Structure 1
Amino acid sequence: MKKNKYKAIIYIILSAFSFAFMFAFVRMAGELPTFQKVFFRNFIAMLIAVATLIKTKTPFKIEGKTNKWVIFVRAAAGTAGMLGNFYAIDKLALSDASMLNKMSPFFTIVFSYIFLKEKLTPFQLLTVIGAFIGAMFIIKPSFANAALFPSVLGFLGGMGAGLAYACVRYLGQHGVHGKVIVAYFSGFSCLVTLPYLLFLGKEMSISQILCLIGAGCAAAGGQFTITAAYTHAPAREISVYDYSQLIFTMLLGFFLFGDIPDVWSFVGYFIIVTMGVLVFLYNNVWHAEEKGEKQPG
């Protein structure tokens, strides 16, 4: 059990690293319709997912009526969340868009509690709320001064992603392979966005194509690792670690776009990282001692 938890933490940090690069590539792709960016991002991810299924000889099958409905909800919520997220990336500051998307771990815990009946202690809830408060220090310009529409879409994007990850947790518990989940979601998103690409898509330059290919590759890495994370441990134990994406996004924003967060943003980063450390200590030290579990070392 502990080994799975540690694996999940590593997976979710790797996914945060991958998705941070996806953010950067999406921004570097320039002025293209949101549906077009989402299509190419998922088309690359779908090719990688299908190739992985073939290479590992993993059958593409989803058994059980409930699993089929849940994977559909995962794909629909994930696609809606991605559309909101990509729109926010194009219209808001990169760090603001990232923070709106980082509402997803909070919603994952809420949805896991509501639909999966996973236990949520008051201490864990407080740490998630603390992380949410930290996010508000970083996102402060968006709700007050930025355009309301992209801010709301970005926030709803985080909600959609949170529901999608809760569905991933359920599917992992009920025998659906992670590679199948990624392939299904990627294919679903491509089908939804393809009509918009055909009728409203714009011609792309070589650099824009390369950026979207990079976004797709980074997204595929993020999808595989985030799927692995939520199939190895409950959302309440690992979701806060997804906020590590803030650090990666901040570094990429500085080196690629010259972004320098202000003092309030650094306050937000500090609060969120602190909450992550507290959750880790609670789940792996304090809570384990309460149960009488022997600590390693």
Structure 2
Amino acid sequence: MKKKYLGIVYIVISAFCFALMNMFVRLSGDLPFVQKSFFRNLVALVFALIILKKEGVWFSGKKGNIKYLVLRSIAGTLGIFCNYYAIDRLVLADASMLNKMSPFFAIVFSYILLKEKIKPVQAVIVVTAFLGSLLIIKPTTAIFQSPAALIGLLGGLGAGIAYTFVRVLGEKGERAPFVVFVFSSFSCLVSLGFMVFDYHPMSGMQLVYLLLAGLSAAGGQFSITAAYFQAPAREISVYDYSQIIFSALLGFMVFGQIPDALSWAGYLVICSMAVLMFIYNHRVHGEKTANERIGDS
């Protein structure tokens, strides 16, 4: 149960960090999405390298994990590229909604790859939380008509698959910093390949914003990796929707955006579902503990 609580804490921290990342990416202005992605992962790469050298722990040595590391890196890079592409070409709210499909995809692929059972109550709570996010984002019909929107949805799919492979690697004994290191290295190399042909000069302030975006992303990446190491996606992914709340607060403080009535209704739905998930998990754990005690007696 302690690991489950840690997973919740980590995923809320990651949500705040990713909200900061989106804010800094928006502040960085008109730059190629691949260039933004490079700086986002470069900072994470440096942090991962420092932690690995400090702890003296690298690859676990399990050859079977290599394919999962590669698949996690491919899916994660695809998710980042598609998300940044969508942010540059869609209404920011629409792009955010598509990216918030990632927890849903994480649950689906956890069921497919890990055979983690999804109980009806948990499914209803996650779906309701997602519907609450629609109240906040109020997506337009452009999502279903624009190629950029389809790419944004692909980004949510990529992120969901990536988080599932993170869970697989955690169960197979791979250390979180090494998973982040491999993913960040892969993404940076792919980004560099594109930047050779399409690099845009940046102002000093744009560079600062991108470095801050990378720093925020590093915090989010390490936190969400730790979260899925601690608990199954079906039990903690709903808390990732707290990013919408953090984004609303940052939007008000930085851009002067004030949420409307529908948005506030969405916040209420999401927070309520998070509380219900917490109560449900606590209750189920309590019943299991009681049954175990009866069995022991």
Q: Is TM (by shorter chain) over 0.5?
A: yes
Between the two proteins, what is the percent identity of the paired residues? 52
The Cα shift of 1:261 comes to 2.6
The 5 Å alignment of 1:47-196 reads 47-59=46-58, 61-144=59-142, 148-196=146-194
Cα distance in 1 for partners of 2:249, 2:87 equals 16
SS in structure 1 of the partner of residue 197 of structure 2: helix
1:290 and 2:287 correspond = yes
Cα distance in 1 for partners of 2:153, 2:129 equals 15
Cα distance in 2 for partners of 1:292, 1:230 equals 23
Cα distance in 2 for partners of 1:94, 1:82 equals 15
Cα distance in 2 for partners of 1:220, 1:117 equals 29
SS in structure 2 of the partner of residue 199 of structure 1: coil
Q: Which moved more, 1:261-270 or 1:47-56?
A: 261-270
The Cα shift of 1:146 comes to 8.8
1:219 maps to amino acid: A
Give the gaps of 5 or more residues in structure 2. 292-297
- TM-score with structure 2 setting the length: 0.93
- 1:12 alignment counterpart: 11
Say if 1:147 and 1:41 are closer, same or farther in 2 by CA, change over 3 A.
Answer: farther
Cα distance in 2 for partners of 1:150, 1:251 equals 27
The Cα shift of 1:95 comes to 3.5
Counterpart contact for 2:143–2:149, Cα < 8 Å: no
The number of residue pairs the alignment matches comes to 291
Q: Which moved more, 1:23-32 or 1:80-89?
A: 80-89
1:273 and 2:261 correspond = no
SS in structure 2 of the partner of residue 141 of structure 1: coil
The 5 Å alignment of 1:185-264 reads 185-264=183-262
- 2:38 alignment counterpart: 39
Cα distance in 2 for partners of 1:259, 1:147 equals 27
Cα distance in 2 for partners of 1:104, 1:110 equals 10
The Cα shift of 1:241 comes to 0.5
The Cα shift of 1:87 comes to 1.7
Q: Which moved more, 1:230-239 or 1:137-146?
A: 137-146
Counterpart contact for 1:134–1:272, Cα < 8 Å: yes
SS in structure 2 of the partner of residue 291 of structure 1: helix
1:135 maps to amino acid: S
- TM-score with structure 1 setting the length: 0.93
The Cα shift of 1:194 comes to 0.6
The Cα shift of 1:278 comes to 1.1
Counterpart contact for 2:144–2:150, Cα < 8 Å: no
Give the gaps of 5 or more residues in structure 1. none
Cα distance in 1 for partners of 2:143, 2:32 equals 24
The Cα shift of 1:289 comes to 3.7
Cα distance in 1 for partners of 2:143, 2:38 equals 30
The Cα shift of 1:257 comes to 1.5
Cα distance in 2 for partners of 1:156, 1:250 equals 24
The Cα shift of 1:260 comes to 2.2
RMSD: 1.7
The Cα shift of 1:149 comes to 2.4
Say if 1:138 and 1:147 are closer, same or farther in 2 by CA, change over 3 A.
Answer: farther
Q: Deviations over 1:204-241 (max 9, x none)?
A: 00000000100111111111111111001111111101
